Amino acid sequence: MKRCRYCNKISKTISKNIGFCADCIRNYFDVIYEDIIQLHKTVRKKSGIPEHTPHDSKGRMCQFCFHNCKLDTDKIGLCGVRRNEEGHLKGGTPRDGNLFWYYDPLPTNCVAEWVCAGCTAEGFPEFSYTKTPEYGYKNLAVFYNSCSFNCLFCQNWHYRNEMKKNIRISSEELASKVDDKTSCICFFGGDPSTQIAHAIKTSFIALKNKKDRILRICWETNGSMNTKFLDIIWDLSIQSGGCIKFDLKAWTQEIHLALCGVTNKMTLENFKILASRFKDRPSPAPLIASTLLVPGYIDTYEVSKIAHFIASINPNIPYTLLAFHPEFYMDDLPSTSYRHAMDCLNAAKDEGLNRVRVANEHLLGNWY
């Protein structure tokens, strides 16, 4: 049991590192703001990342994500990979992606597996090889070692260690990993938004090399990329039969700042833009939303607000609720309980969404 440092509430769903309960974060953020920001500065510093967004007056501006870091010579961006080398911005370009890749047999444990062409009957024969899940085929999983967020609950926080190795792979080399049994590429991480130029170039090369064959292009992202890239990644996914998976981590600005260290304004704006184009290809679904159910923080209030936002644009957009596993700076929390998941599932349905599910159910706990 941990105690909220503001209201003194005691609960197993209060993170010791954050130190405050969700109600106090939502209602008294102006009072506890400095403590929250200091925590994120500490986490970034330990990872070798700038404590705040660099805006050097004489620097070069990176425009890959919403931070728009302005970097002086020998400085790095908030993502940890974009850098100014002798006046030139490098890192995450088609020549030097910081990433690792692997083959993932289909059907795979993907946020969109319940609606995608590779794991369902949707999209056959234009976008998939079989009427059933594509057994015998595989996904080229591309994990980018960088991110524009600083999520304290990150389920893949180990990328911060890999990022420091500065392993560089060109788009040409990565695209060459697509073989005759590769039917899709998924860019995730970390987050592909911070190395978006590398991912886009890889996609174009891979599609050209695999002309007249099925190759779906998919993205799993926090949605913080510069808006100017939306049309490009949308067209890549729409035309190839792939999809874009947006992780909507929280609705309330204060909760998002506390858990992720950044605003969610750009994420919501970008999602709204793409959601308005959902009818471009209703099946297989081109856009999917997901939310990680962090106990004590991402509750029915947050989920219902997110679901209402999605449904107000298009109620047929699929929404996946993900079970949380204790990780990183929130490893003292329990896993998502079955009751928490069901309450959030019902809350999302009550807001009018037609396609909602709970994933990773094997992680759900039995506590109340």
Q: What gap in Å lies between CA 115 and CA 123, rounded to an integer?
A: 10
Neighbour count for residue 10 (Cβ, 10 Å): 11
pLDDT tens digits for range 301-346: 999 999 999 999 999 999 999 999 999 999 999 999 999 999 999 9
Q: Exposed, middle or buried by CB within 10 Å (0-12, 13-18, 19+), for 135?
A: exposed
Q: What is the pLDDT of residue 26?
A: 98
pLDDT tens digits for range 28-72: 999 999 999 999 999 999 999 999 999 987 889 999 999 999 999
Q: What gap in Å lies between CA 75 and CA 225, rounded to an integer?
A: 21
Q: What is the pLDDT of residue 120?
A: 87
- pLDDT for residue 367 is more than 70: no
Q: What gap in Å lies between CA 169 and CA 148, rounded to an integer?
A: 20
Is 2:16 a contact under the CB 8 Å cutoff? yes
Q: What is the pLDDT of residue 166?
A: 78
Quick one: which of 119, 112, 116 has its CA closest to 289? 112
- Start-to-end C-alpha separation, the chain: 14
Q: What is the pLDDT of residue 212?
A: 87
Q: What gap in Å lies between CA 214 and CA 179, rounded to an integer?
A: 11
Please indicate whether residue 366 or residue 337 has the higher confidence score (pLDDT): 337
DSSP alpha helices (H): ranges in the chain? 22-27, 29-46, 159-163, 171-175, 196-209, 230-240, 253-260, 265-275, 300-313, 338-350
Is 333:326 a contact under the CB 8 Å cutoff? yes
Q: What is the pLDDT of residue 252?
A: 98
Domains of the chain are 97-363 (3.20.20.70)
Question: What's this model's pTM, rounded to 2 decimal places?
Answer: 0.96
Are β-strands 2-3 and 10-11 bridged in parallel, bridged antiparallel, or unpaired? antiparallel
Average pLDDT (264-275) is 98
Q: What gap in Å lies between CA 19 and CA 39, rounded to an integer?
A: 10
- pLDDT for residue 292 is more than 70: yes
Confidence tier at 365 by pLDDT (50, 70, 90): confident
Is 64:226 a contact under the CB 8 Å cutoff? yes
Under DSSP, the state recorded for 55 is B
Are β-strands 60-61 and 70-71 bridged in parallel, bridged antiparallel, or unpaired? antiparallel
Q: What gap in Å lies between CA 117 and CA 135, rounded to an integer?
A: 12
Single-letter residue type at 134:
E
- Unique residue bearing structure tokens 């974009």: 82
Are β-strands 356-359 and 287-293 bridged in parallel, bridged antiparallel, or unpaired? unpaired
Average pLDDT (292-306) is 98
Q: What is the pLDDT of residue 1?
A: 86
pLDDT tens digits for range 221-260: 999 999 999 999 999 999 999 999 999 999 999 999 999 9
Q: What gap in Å lies between CA 297 and CA 162, rounded to an integer?
A: 29
Average pLDDT (85-93) is 93
- Unique residue bearing structure tokens 């039917």: 183
Beta pairing partners, 83: 76, 90
Q: What is the pLDDT of residue 368?
A: 60
Q: What gap in Å lies between CA 324 and CA 303, rounded to an integer?
A: 14
Please give the mean pLDDT across all residues of the chain.
95
pLDDT tens digits for range 126-177: 999 999 899 999 999 999 999 999 999 999 999 999 998 878 999 999 999 9
pLDDT tens digits for range 186-223: 999 999 999 999 999 999 999 999 988 999 999 999 99
